[in-house]
Structure 1
Amino acid sequence: MSQHPISRFPVPAIADMPEDIRTRILAVQEKSGFVPNVFLVLAHRPDEFRAFFAYHDALMDKPGNLTKAEREMIVVATSNANQCQYCVVAHGAILRIRAKNPLIADQVAINYRKADITEKQKAMLDYAMKVAFEAYAISDADLATLKSHGFTDEDAWDISAIAAFFGMSNRLANVTSMRPNDEFYTLGRA
């Protein structure tokens, strides 16, 4: 286990957290076998923790045309471009598991344009990257390109919202110096 701090801000003890947050964290620990550091770091601000995870869950766990793996691809590609070590490592692990592919997260993080993904997924990530860095330039032509690959307006909204939300998440992770759990590095690789 790493001996490095997981945040440059105070991290509350699980026992000292509000009951609803403690219950959620313990449920995550039960399911995954460890507590992802993002839960511990964000628990520093309980109201923001609740809002963050409510929006995260609304984006990442909802039914829709985007698969859970494709949602994670958006996170990994844009997080790499934002130089967010925590999100690339943590969501890379989730992507490997959801895609059932031990190579995909590394490929998407390094250069999604050369990754073993479909042309449709590349178009999705091209659009997500534009949202992440040039949202002011999004035009009807961008939406038409998505539609030409089979995406709906609702899909475009989902791609946009995921890229935008994780832009905020990346910035918080970088400011807090959030450290990825060691467990993430090996998940989904074997």
Structure 2
Amino acid sequence: MSAPATPSPAPAISRFPVPALPDLPDDLRERILAVQEKAGFVPNVFLALAHRPDELRAFLAYHDALLLKEGGLTKGEREMVIVATSGVNRCLYCVVAHGAILRVYEKKPLLADQLATNHRKADISPRQRAMLDFAMKVCRHADEIEESDYEALRAHGFTDEDAWDIGAITAFFGLSNRMANLMALRPNDEFYLMGRVPRQK
């Protein structure tokens, strides 16, 4: 009689040490537990970046300043910028995690996959395409940004402050993409299915 198969260990979420939740400073543990209560799980990025608590605090502060502020971009449009530029930067974690958030915000199951592959073929408005054209230029060729790029945004109703937001989100997630790849950060399995099928009532 053969021995029962031993379950394979769960894959590591980062190649760097990941602290246990009880070992974190109180402020970070409380923030993570609040996210867990809302989402039903802890996104791996919080635990992986907690390897360096001061850097996680700085990361969260800038994240919140960009994504929770009022402005000319909707929450969904901010996620569009993240998903499209993270696709260019080949960041699996951010494409999967923020793709899930985008699907939830926009209620469009196909959109995240389209944007992560080629925003010019995606089912988006001309305004959103102009936004992502600008984001892509910041992502790939920021040294070539010129006044005509701002004029193209203005033609679709964006202000210079909106342009700052588009560029800052792109730049911040350029950092996030590179850190995620450095860490070999694994997306939570839960993200893959979020927003793909309607919730059962």
| TM class by smaller structure | over 0.9
Shift of residue 52 of structure 1?
A: 0.2
**For 1:61-72, what aligned pairs fall within 5 Å after superposition?**
61-72=68-79
Q: Is 2:138 the partner of 1:131?
A: yes
Whether contact under 8 Å (1:72, 1:92) holds in the other structure is: yes
- How much has 1:2 moved relative to structure 2? 8.1
CA offset digits 1:116-141 (Å, max 9, x no partner): 10011011001001101111110011
The CA distance in 1 between the partners of 2:68 and 2:196, in whole Å, is 23
- Please, which of 81, 91, 97 is the counterpart of residue 74 of structure 1? 81
Deviation at 1:57, TM superposition (A): 0.7
Q: Could you tell me which of 59, 63, 66 is aligned with 2:66?
A: 59
**TM-score normalised by L of structure 1:** 0.98
| Cα displacement string for residues 1-41 of structure 1 (whole angstroms, at most 9, x for unaligned residues) | 98211000000000000000000000000000000000000
Higher helix share: 1
The CA RMSD measured in Å over matched residues stands at: 1.1
Residues 1:50 and 2:50 are matched in the alignment: no
2:105 is aligned with what amino acid? R
1:27-68: CA deviation from partner (whole Å, max 9, x where unpaired): 000000000000000001011000001100111111111000
Task: Tell me the equivalent position of 2:15.
Answer: 8
1:2-151 alignment runs, 5 A limit: 3-151=10-158
Q: What is the number of equivalent residue pairs in this alignment?
A: 190
TM-score by length of 2: 0.93
Larger gyration radius, structure 1 or structure 2: 2
Q: Structure 2: give runs of 5+ residues left out of the alignment.
A: 1-7
How much has 1:174 moved relative to structure 2? 0.2
Is the Cα contact below 8 Å between 1:124 and 1:146 reproduced in 2?
yes
